[in-house]
């Protein structure tokens, strides 16, 4: 459950002047930062701006056989992986000081690459844990058994973790959430269409294959029993859109009150076995699910729980087992669920695994070679200018009262910013890494992460910690910390180009910055204050006016059907859609402020405003396989990339005038139908 816990816990040279600053890389005219070879001039920008900017790329780009999607994000992730490949190879051959971060990275990577050793030891390292599963004799032992396997990241119907308290943001608290499924979402169990039925059949075959490889009895019967059990667990689980509601998922109670909800499940036993016995209070995210799963725990035969745990143990550790387990896992998770055609090369999986285990140690190697101080300085300037743009934008809102505006600006003033990499990387000195023991490294790393998580109970929240590693190609807003994070990995073209014109950087990384700040004011982020505490700081009238706008935006996305009869879920994607809409608007405002009243030069025949919107559209170029797209629409809070470009643009007045969009053009949305929030 370590991976589950990670998911639950929870994502430049300039002097900054008040009012905004243009931050040129040099006195010479910079490049536009736009690759016009990606354009498709057969498409009118007024009809499909996304294809106008990216159509040439879309015609020629191919999704690699080992990938489920491909685009600007994935290209940068591949760049980062290639860079780390070289760094890890060097570290594995360097014979650095024993115990040093470089030595640990090198030894861990080497253990991943030693496929001969993995095949030689076979499944022998699993024997102690398989024996532990086999020792389960009665339902009364489920709490301690689940607690044992939680240390190894093996799922159970209830995820238990320590994280910041949403209403007391400086404190950590025990939290409990629904968990326990092997398919991506409850819909995969409950929907009766042909695609979901096919996924379930493939899942049963995969379970049986894994159990057969591990020489477990009655593999096919066990697979069907596991599916039946997980279908029961899925029934009362909350759908993902409901799980976004920060008020609904905050239910603080005593451990005694939690215990009263589950008479069949001994929480005292679980917490004692899990190292969390000092917890007195807990936040329960889905109380009715916890109540509903209790009779399932009681009535399910212990033999079925043994089968369930055995399979999930095999599934969790498949990447560090012999090749037949790796291939079986890929065939289901990669090919069936995501449409990938080939298993990634071993070195790629080794790089990813090393990053997963020693991410911040690996990040120090990456930063030292690939992240330049001028990149951070220029990003600092961008962030400050966009925060200033939000401040101006808040003042300009005609629908918001002065009282709520003051609170919004107070929150904005408390935003914290993380750029590049942590100032103080994590200490991995207590994590033993052995060059000839891949399975052991995986077990120890999971136990290390679990111990780190449980150690936070009763301690103040450490907001200097990062939720992303330096090479990550992504960005993040943390509502409880009220901070935004931009790792070094995303600070590359087309998102960020030190040598490019301001316009394209504002349109690209500026919109990403605006997006992350926008999360602080999206339909859920707006519920917390500048200190990160879940608190209603809105007047009733302002909240009503806000919700009218978000409902209108949700309806725009609900109407979009990217594949088959599946539509974008406007409620599930609401926060990201607000971030995209607001991020674009505020990035543009910041860009205009940065010009200090002057007009930008024309570069490559394009005005500054044109370059801004092109810079925005080109970061969303991408292709995705059908199976992966279906999974995204059912499970992912992000809309597909092409609509992340199109919908914010059609709602933007400046885009309309910049590209002379008129009634009758496909990118035209009547002014009364456009949504403006921030």
Digit-coded pLDDT (tens) for 570-627 = 999 999 999 999 999 999 999 999 999 999 999 999 999 999 999 999 999 999 999 9
Rounded mean pLDDT, 168-174:
97
In a domain, 445, yes or no: no
Whether the CB-CB separation of 519 and 479 falls below 8 Å is answered with yes
The residue from 289, 318, 347 where one domain ends is: 318
The candidate with the shortest Cα–Cα distance to 594, out of 13, 12, 16, 25, is 16
516/595 same-domain check: yes
Could you tell me if 253 and 401 lie in one domain? Answer: no
One domain, residues 55 and 143:
no
User: Quick check: 543 and 551 in contact, CB under 8 A?
Assistant: no
Of the candidates 461, 452, 165, which has an alpha carbon nearest to the alpha carbon of residue 284?
A: 165
How confident is the model over 432-465, as pLDDT tens digits? 999 999 999 999 999 999 999 999 999 999 999 9
How many domains, in total, are found in the chain?
2
Query: Is residue 246 in a domain?
Result: yes
CB 409 within 8 A of CB 393: no
6 — pLDDT class (breaks 50, 70, 90): very low
Predicted local confidence at residue 374, as pLDDT: 86
Question: CA distances (Å), 72 to each of 54, 75, 77, 351, in order?
Answer: 11, 5, 9, 20
The domain that holds 274 is classified in CATH as: 1.10.1380.10
The pLDDT, as a whole number, for residue 468 is: 95
- Residue 241 in domain: yes
For residue range 371-382, what is the model confidence (pLDDT) as tens digits? 988 889 999 999
* 405 plus 537 within the same structural domain: yes
| Alpha carbons 388 and 383: distance in angstroms, whole number | 9
Q: Which of 296, 318, 340 is the last residue of a domain?
A: 318
Q: Are residues 506 and 655 in the same domain?
A: yes
| Host domain of residue 225 | 139-318
Does any domain span residue 521?
Answer: yes
Query: How do 168-178 and 281-284 pair as beta strands?
Result: parallel
Residue 117 lies in a domain: no
DSSP-based three-state secondary structure for 26: coil
Q: For the chain, how far is it from start to end, CA to CA, in angstroms? A: 38
- Is 243 among the domain residues? yes
Q: Encode pLDDT of 60-86 as tens digits.
A: 999 999 999 999 999 999 999 999 999
Say yes or no: 520 and 636 in one domain: yes
Write the DSSP assignment of 90-133 as a string of letters.
HHHHH-PPTTSHHHHHHHHHHHHH-HHHHHHHTTGGGHHHHHHH
Rounded Cα gap, residues 172 and 38, in angstroms: 48
Which of residues 119 and 27 earns the better pLDDT score? 119
Would you say 51 and 667 are in contact if contact means Cβ atoms under 8 Å apart? Answer: no
Q: Is the link from the previous residue into 559 a cis peptide, with omega within 30 of 0?
A: no
411 shares its domain with 499: yes
Percent of the chain topping pLDDT 90: 93
CATH number of the domain residue 653 falls in: 3.40.390.10
Residue 547 belongs to some domain of the structure: yes
User: In whole numbers, what is the pLDDT of the chain averaged over residues?
Assistant: 94
Residues 498-529 pLDDT 10s? 888 899 999 999 999 999 999 999 999 999 99
Whether residues 515 and 661 fall in one domain: yes
Domain match, 409 and 307 both: no
* Same domain (yes/no): 261, 158: yes
The two tokens of residue 74 are 């994935």
pLDDT at 20 over 70: no
Last residue of a domain, one of 318, 340, 366: 318
Secondary structure of 384-435 in the HEC alphabet? Answer: HHHHHHHHHHHHHCCCCCHHHHHHHHHHHHCCEEEEECCCCCCCCCCCCCCC
Report yes or no on 483 lying in a domain.
no
User: Do 400 and 276 reside in the same domain of the chain?
Assistant: no
Average pLDDT in the 356-367 region? Answer: 96
3-state secondary structure of 355: helix
Residue 23 has pLDDT above 90, yes or no: no
State whether 649 and 501 are in the same domain: yes
Cα gap 636→388, rounded to integer Å:
31
Question: Do the beta carbons of residue 172 and residue 331 sit within 8 Å?
Answer: no
Q: What is the pLDDT of residues 231-288, one digit of tens each?
A: 999 999 999 999 999 999 999 999 999 999 999 999 999 999 999 999 999 999 999 9
């Amino acid at each position: 459950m370590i991976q589950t816990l990670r998911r639950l816990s929870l994502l430049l040279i300039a002097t900054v002047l008040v009012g905004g600053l243009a931050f040129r890389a040099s006195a010479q005219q910079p490049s536009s930062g736009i690759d016009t070879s990606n354009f498709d001039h057969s498409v009118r920008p007024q009809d499909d701006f996304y294809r106008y900017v990216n159509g040439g790329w879309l015609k020629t780009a191919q999704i690699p056989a080992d990938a489920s999607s491909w685009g600007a994000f994935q290209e940068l992730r591949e760049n980062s992986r290639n860079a780390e490949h070289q760094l890890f190879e060097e570290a594995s051959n360097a014979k650095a000081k024993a115990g040093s971060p470089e030595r640990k990275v090198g030894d861990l990577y080497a253990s991943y690459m030693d496929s001969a050793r993995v095949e030689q030891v076979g499944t022998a390292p699993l024997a102690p844990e398989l024996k532990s599963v086999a020792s389960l004799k009665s339902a009364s032992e489920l709490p301690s058994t689940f607690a044992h396997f939680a240390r190894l990241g093996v799922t159970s119907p209830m995820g238990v973790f320590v994280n910041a308290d949403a209403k007391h943001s400086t404190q950590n608290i025990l939290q409990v959430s629904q968990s326990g499924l092997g398919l991506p979402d409850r819909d995969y169990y409950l929907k009766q269409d042909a695609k979901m039925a096919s996924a379930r059949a493939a899942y049963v075959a995969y379970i049986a294959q894994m159990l057969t490889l591990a020489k477990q009895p009655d593999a096919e019967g066990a697979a069907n029993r596991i599916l039946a059990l997980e279908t029961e667990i899925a029934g009362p689980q909350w759908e993902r859109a409901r799980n976004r509601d920060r008020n609904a998922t905050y239910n603080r109670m005593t451990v005694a009150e939690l215990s009263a909800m589950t008479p069949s499940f001994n929480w005292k036993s679980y917490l004692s076995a899990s190292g969390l016995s000092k917890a007195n209070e807990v936040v329960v995210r889905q109380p009715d699910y916890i109540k509903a799963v209790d009779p399932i725990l009681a009535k399910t035969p212990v033999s079925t729980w043994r089968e369930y745990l055995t399979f999930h143990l095999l599934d969790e550790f498949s990447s560090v087992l012999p090749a037949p387990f790796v291939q079986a896992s890929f065939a289901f998770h990669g090919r069936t669920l995501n449409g990938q055609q080939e298993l990634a090369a071993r070195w790629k999986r080794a790089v990813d695994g090393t990053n997963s285990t020693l991410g911040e140690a690996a990040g120090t190697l990456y930063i030292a070679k690939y992240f330049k101080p001028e990149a951070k300085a220029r990003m600092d300037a961008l962030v400050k200018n966009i925060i200033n743009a939000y401040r101006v934008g808040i003042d300009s809102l005609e629908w918001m009262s002065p009282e709520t505006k003051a609170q919004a600006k107070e929150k904005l003033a408390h935003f914290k910013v993380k750029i590049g990499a942590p100032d103080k990387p994590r200490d991995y000195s207590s994590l033993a890494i052995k060059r000839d023991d891949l399975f052991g490294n995986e077990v120890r790393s999971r136990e290390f992460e679990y111990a780190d998580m449980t150690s936070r109970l009763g301690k103040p929240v450490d907001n200097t910690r990062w939720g992303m590693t330096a090479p990550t190609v992504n960005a993040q807003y943390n509502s409880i910390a009220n901070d935004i994070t931009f790792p070094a990995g995303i600070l590359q073209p087309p998102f960020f180009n030190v040598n490019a014109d301001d316009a394209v950087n504002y349109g690209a990384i500026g919109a990403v910055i605006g997006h992350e700040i926008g999360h602080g004011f999206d339909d859920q982020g707006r519920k917390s204050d500048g200190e990160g505490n879940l608190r209603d700081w809105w007047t009733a009238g302002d909240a009503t006016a806000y919700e009218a706008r978000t409902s209108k935006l949700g309806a725009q996305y609900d109407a979009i059907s990217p594949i088959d009869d599946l539509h974008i879920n406007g409620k599930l994607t609401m926060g990201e859609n607000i971030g995209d809409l607001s991020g674009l608007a505020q990035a543009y405002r910041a860009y205009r402020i940065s010009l200090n009243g002057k007009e930008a030069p024309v570069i490559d025949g394009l005005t500054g405003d044109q370059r801004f919107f092109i810079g925005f559209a080109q970061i969303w170029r991408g292709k995705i396989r059908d199976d992966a797209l279906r999974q995204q629409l059912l499970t992912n809070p992000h809309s597909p990339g092409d609509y992340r470009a199109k919908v914010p643009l059609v709602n933007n007045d400046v885009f309309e005038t910049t590209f002379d969009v008129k009634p009758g053009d496909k990118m035209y949305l009547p002014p009364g139908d456009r949504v403006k929030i921030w």
